[in-house]
Amino acid sequence: MIHAAFDIPEFFGPYAEADPEQQVSPVKLDPPKATEIVKNYALHLGADAVGICKVNPN
């Protein structure tokens, strides 16, 4: 997991950083739709399995 945290930005290249416009508000997604997007993208990148869980913000 530690390696992935440092390798993923290089893997994404120029897509690793974003500078959203200040006037644009974040998109509100319901959890099932957000889960579908994340899982499909991870599978597209070559993941064998993808899991979604709640994370303690602390």
Q: What is the DSSP letter of 16?
A: G
Pair of tokens at residue 8 = 């993923």
Share of the chain above pLDDT 70, in %: 66
Side-chain-facing half-sphere of 42: CA atoms under 13 Å: 12
Q: Buried b / exposed e across 23-54, counting CB within 10 Å, b at 16+?
A: eeeeeeeeeeeeeeeeeeeeeeeeeeeeeeee
Please name the residues in contact with 10: beta carbons below 8 A apart, sequence gap of 6 or more.
16
pTM over 0.85: no
Segment 14-28 mean pLDDT: 72
Share of the chain above pLDDT 90, in %: 10
pLDDT at res. 44:
87
Segment 38-52 mean pLDDT: 89
pLDDT over 80 (residue 13): no
